[in-house]
Amino acid sequence: MPDIERFLSEKLHPVYKAHYAIWIYWWPLWRKMYSGPKILRKWEKFNLVKEGQTFLDYGCGAGSFTLPAARKVGQAGKVYALDCFHGQLKMVEKKSREEGLTNVQTILSNLETGLPDESIDIIWMCDVFHEVSERRAVLAEMHRVLRKDGVLAIYDGMRERVLEYATGLFSLAERDDKLLRLTK
Ligand SMILES: C[S@@+](CC[C@H](N)C(=O)[O-])C[C@H]1O[C@@H](n2cnc3c(N)ncnc32)[C@H](O)[C@@H]1O
């Protein structure tokens, strides 16, 4: 059982569990109605996602960006949706099935991806970095799986403080407020 689910089932009071359950449904709605379209416009601005690419959505949540990425990379591409919370991955699988998207594969993990070295064109990490405890280890895993000319795009309220953890692994190529485009 993933850490977060064990934490929820063993440690939390039922009131907090109910709050969390509401929150995981509220967040995708917020993404769909407001913040998602704003962030997707930044993809366009940075020309971030292209047809045929292999895309890793690290901390995919309910798939607010997994599905747009799957549509964008198309059948020639592939999207890996990774999250440490099994319930989120089930939602991604259900939505992908409903949309007929066959190029999405989920990964349950809080660190390792299980993907081959230098196999990914773009890694997307949106509003996840601040939640991660092993930040340096996660960045090292991203460095391992990203192609030499690949892009790591991190959107996070930590902004440029992300770079303190990325030293020696990634450099900043471009920035737009909370969005950092990093390269190896
Ligand atoms: C605020 S949500 C963002 C979800 C999605 N990226 C979005 O922007 O809509 C953060 C997600 O990161 C996941 N997460 C947090 N720490 C993680 C870790 N170490 N490894 C994988 N997923 C993680 C959580 O389970 C949650 O689904």
What pLDDT is recorded for position 24? 73
| The three-state (H, E, C) secondary structure of the chain, written as one string | CCHHHHHHHHCCCHHHHHHHHHHHHHHHHHHHHHHHHHHHHHHHHHCCCCCCCEEEEECCCCCCCHHHHHHHHCCCCEEEEEECCHHHHHHHHHHHHHHCCCCEEEEECCCCCCCCCCCEEEEEEECCHHHCCCHHHHHHHHHHHEEEEEEEEEECCCHHHHHHHHCCCCEEEEEECCEEEEEC
Indicate which residue's Cα is closest to atom 16 of ligand 1.
132
Which pLDDT tens digits describe the chain residue by residue (184 residues)? 455 555 555 545 566 566 666 677 778 888 888 899 999 999 999 999 999 999 999 999 999 999 999 999 999 999 999 999 888 999 999 999 999 999 999 999 999 999 999 999 999 999 999 999 899 999 999 999 999 999 999 999 999 999 999 999 999 999 999 999 999 9
Whether 117 contacts 144, CB under 8 Å: yes
Does the CB atom of residue 61 touch ligand 1 within 6 A? Answer: yes
Does the CB atom of residue 83 touch ligand 1 within 6 A? Answer: yes
What pLDDT is recorded for position 4? 56
138-143-146-152 Cα dihedral, nearest 10 degrees: 70
Indicate which residue's Cα is closest to atom 1 of ligand 1.
127
What pLDDT is recorded for position 7? 56
Enter the tokens of residue 122: 């773009």
What pLDDT is recorded for position 34? 84
What pLDDT is recorded for position 173? 97
Enter the tokens of residue 116: 């081959």
* Domain locations in the chain as residue ranges: 3-183
Atom of ligand 1 at shortest distance to CA of 64?
9
- Ligand 1 midpoint to CA 124 (Å): 11
**Listed residue (142, 141, 144) closest to 154, CA to CA:** 142
- Ligand 1 midpoint to CA 130 (Å): 9
User: Does the 3-183 domain belong in CATH 3.40.50.150?
Assistant: yes
